[in-house]
Structure 1
Amino acid sequence: MVKVAIAGGSGQVAREVIDALIATKKHEITILSRTEATSKTFPPAGTKWQAVDYSDIPSLTAALQGTHTVLSFIQLLSDPEQTAQKNLVDAAVGAGVKRFAPSEYGSKGTVDMPWWHGKEIVRGYLRAINEEEDVLEYTLFQPGLFLDYTAFPHKTSKYLDPLQTVWDFKNRRAIIVEGYEEAVMTLTTVADLAAIVALAVGYEGRWPTNGGIRGNRVTVSQIVEIGGRVRGAPFAVEKVRLDDLEAGELKTSWNLEAVHHAVAQEDAAALLKMVSIGVLTSCTKGAWDVSDELSSLFPDYQSTSIEDFHRGLWEGKRS
């Protein structure tokens, strides 16, 4: 059993992971938050809640005393310079924390995805503090894109809200970059991510820095083929040119409509266009071809296949 601190623990992905950790019945879990607990249902039974000030490194250090592992889920968009996470790293080092996982939970690369620029800041900070000597073991939990998002508008997990992707299973359509039909995507359910994170927390060996979690490694053309099989009709595919995308142009008849809850409504349209373009172009550059370096440590764990996931979801449904 180890003591685990969860930073940003009220977020959707964090809550999926917290439930998986609680289910192991092995760890002492403390949820760190900028606010006091206000809900009768959160924090869940079996956890502790601690209000912290991420701008106060000494108090953060005190809060982390005796902690073995820190998992960060701090929202990147709310802190462009990533001051909170950098302070959390400093506090973890000061408190003698053994393991740290920054707020990742997506692609391995961030090229053409400015909304994830904060990940590069924190990655660089972690590399720098370990440059002369190994002071903090860390891993980057990277499951690729959550497979659950391709189920839009259906909610397939307890906490993760549905979000649209350029592979629209509901309406049997997809957007693909012309000439990059074999570009690779990694798709992993949030439940599989949470399970692997829980296994990693209990893992007694050293964490690999590259925390790749490969639920499914598929090409974009395979996603479309699978979609046609499980939905009973071929997808309508719109192909876009890479040079148009890189010029900021999305020449399609449709685009995403559902925006993340952390985004202001007045910023939604611009961000949705940016996300579509960013995911499409970054995919052509290998950003979503996640390794299985972490998940391969647990060969007995069987991740959910994309085809099984969608067959179970859409069977008997028309929309």
Structure 2
Amino acid sequence: MVKVAIAGGSGHIASEIVDVLVATQRHEILILSRKDPSAAEAVSGVSWAKADYGDKEQLTGVLSGVHTVLSFVGGTQDPGSVIQKNLIDASIAAGVKRFAPSEWSSSSIEELPWYAEKAVVRTYLEEINKEKKMIEYTLFQPGLIVDYLAPPGTTKHLQTLEILIDFPNRRAIDIDGKDGFFTLTTMNDVANVVALAIEYEGEWPVIGGINGINTSTSKVLEIGAKIQGGKPFDITLVKEEDVRADVFQTPWCPMFKSPDFSEEQLKHFSKVILRGCLLSFLCGSWVVSDAWNRLLPDYKFTNPEEFLLKAWEGKA
């Protein structure tokens, strides 16, 4: 049994992982929160601590006795990666053995400008360990979490996202004449692998790919048609050169949702995300390694196609 601290533990992905860790009944789970812990929901096997992410000394005290830190703080929550850098520094000062930065998605940030902070943290960890290993870490990278394509309620905490492959409305946006490639992995597999990784006795791999299956846009569209009884999707095709020049038009756009942005900002950012996803699928940014698959050969991964067919059965 070890003590695991979760930074940003109220997020959807973090909550799924916390549930699995609690269910193992093998670890002490500590969730770091900016809020007063007394306001937190009481969960068996979970404790809360107030964390001042701007105060490394306070953070070091909170992390005393912690074995592994999992971070889910990133993006717009952490401009300049100040929080994660402080978390890393405090983890080292507190004697934490393992750290997982806020990754949980693609292997590369090429064509994904909203993931720029991931590169900052990756470089920071590399520099810290350059001369001497100060902390063991892994970049948990599952590619696209397939649960986002499933009907609402399929997964306890994750909410269905509007993306360019829209299963509920049988439509998609794709680049004409090109096929995008990516990795699909179920949320349950991600959570289970993290739980197994915490107990893994060997050294964590720096590149921690969690690979359900490598697939393509055309294959996922075939799965969607199969779910819909053979009915093909309504596909809007755009030219790659227009996407790169940012002059393409589509009859609809998957809408990004965030309480931190105004309506106009959401419209702009949604277009940025659509462009980035179209281009990042082409360059393979979402194709991840199978590092954890190889280190955990006894773990049986869920086939994402079977997962989707079962999730949509009777609901299409």
Are the aligned partners of 1:169 and 1:231 in contact in 2 as well (CA < 8 Å)?
Answer: no
Match status 1:29 vs 2:26 = no
Question: Hey, what's the Cα distance between the residues in 2 that align with 1:189 and 1:69?
Answer: 23
Question: Hey, what's the Cα distance between the residues in 2 that align with 1:101 and 1:139?
Answer: 5
Match status 1:215 vs 2:195 = no
Shift of 1:260: 4.3
| Residue aligned with 2:159, SS | coil
Structure 1: unaligned runs, 5 residues or longer: none
Shift of 1:296: 2.5
Question: Hey, what's the Cα distance between the residues in 1 that align with 2:105 and 2:258?
Answer: 15
Tell me which amino acid in the other structure corresponds to 1:20: V
Tell me which amino acid in the other structure corresponds to 1:198: A
Match status 1:313 vs 2:311 = yes
Identify if the C-alpha distance between structure 1 residues 184 and 307 changes in structure 2 by more than 3 Å, giving closer, same or farther.
Answer: same
| Counterpart for residue 182 of structure 2 | 185
% same residue = 46
Identify if the C-alpha distance between structure 1 residues 32 and 267 changes in structure 2 by more than 3 Å, giving closer, same or farther.
Answer: same
| Counterpart for residue 95 of structure 1 | 94
Question: Hey, what's the Cα distance between the residues in 1 that align with 2:267 and 2:207?
Answer: 33
| Counterpart for residue 292 of structure 1 | 290
Aligned residues: 315
Identify if the C-alpha distance between structure 1 residues 57 and 263 changes in structure 2 by more than 3 Å, giving closer, same or farther.
Answer: same
**Deviations 1:286-318 (Å, cap 9, x if unpaired)?**
101111111322223222222212221222224
| Counterpart for residue 252 of structure 1 | 250
Identify if the C-alpha distance between structure 1 residues 155 and 261 changes in structure 2 by more than 3 Å, giving closer, same or farther.
Answer: farther
| Counterpart for residue 46 of structure 1 | 45
Are the aligned partners of 2:96 and 2:135 in contact in 1 as well (CA < 8 Å)?
Answer: yes
Question: Hey, what's the Cα distance between the residues in 2 that align with 1:7 and 1:186?
Answer: 26
Are the aligned partners of 2:256 and 2:269 in contact in 1 as well (CA < 8 Å)?
Answer: no
Shift of 1:81: 0.3
| Counterpart for residue 119 of structure 2 | 120
Shift of 1:43: 4.6
Question: After alignment, is 202-211 or 262-271 more displaced?
Answer: 262-271
Are the aligned partners of 1:71 and 1:100 in contact in 2 as well (CA < 8 Å)?
Answer: yes
| Residue aligned with 1:82, SS | helix
Question: Hey, what's the Cα distance between the residues in 1 that align with 2:15 and 2:177?
Answer: 39
**Deviations 1:220-245 (Å, cap 9, x if unpaired)?**
11111111112211222222222211
Identify if the C-alpha distance between structure 1 residues 163 and 38 changes in structure 2 by more than 3 Å, giving closer, same or farther.
Answer: farther
Question: Hey, what's the Cα distance between the residues in 2 that align with 1:140 and 1:130?
Answer: 15
Question: Hey, what's the Cα distance between the residues in 2 that align with 1:112 and 1:141?
Answer: 20
**Deviations 1:265-294 (Å, cap 9, x if unpaired)?**
442111111111111101111101111111
Question: Hey, what's the Cα distance between the residues in 1 that align with 2:302 and 2:260?
Answer: 28
| Residue aligned with 1:208, SS | coil
| Residue aligned with 1:141, SS | strand
Match runs of 1:126-205 below 5 Å: 126-151=125-150, 154-181=152-179, 183-205=180-202
Are the aligned partners of 1:141 and 1:210 in contact in 2 as well (CA < 8 Å)?
Answer: yes
Question: Hey, what's the Cα distance between the residues in 1 that align with 2:79 and 2:297?
Answer: 37
Alignment TM-score, normalising by the size of structure 2 = 0.95
Alignment TM-score, normalising by the size of structure 1 = 0.94
Tell me which amino acid in the other structure corresponds to 1:3: K
Are the aligned partners of 2:103 and 2:141 in contact in 1 as well (CA < 8 Å)?
Answer: yes
Match runs of 1:69-80 below 5 Å: 69-80=68-79
| Residue aligned with 1:59, SS | helix
Tell me which amino acid in the other structure corresponds to 1:227: G
| Counterpart for residue 61 of structure 2 | 62
| Residue aligned with 1:77, SS | helix
| Residue aligned with 1:106, SS | coil
| Counterpart for residue 11 of structure 1 | 11
Are the aligned partners of 2:173 and 2:235 in contact in 1 as well (CA < 8 Å)?
Answer: yes
Tell me which amino acid in the other structure corresponds to 1:31: I
Match status 1:206 vs 2:222 = no
Are the aligned partners of 1:250 and 1:273 in contact in 2 as well (CA < 8 Å)?
Answer: no
Are the aligned partners of 2:186 and 2:212 in contact in 1 as well (CA < 8 Å)?
Answer: yes
Question: After alignment, is 253-262 or 275-284 more displaced?
Answer: 253-262
| Counterpart for residue 20 of structure 2 | 20
Root-mean-square deviation over aligned CA pairs: 1.6
| Residue aligned with 1:124, SS | helix
Question: Hey, what's the Cα distance between the residues in 2 that align with 1:109 and 1:48?
Answer: 34
**Deviations 1:53-75 (Å, cap 9, x if unpaired)?**
11111111111111110000113
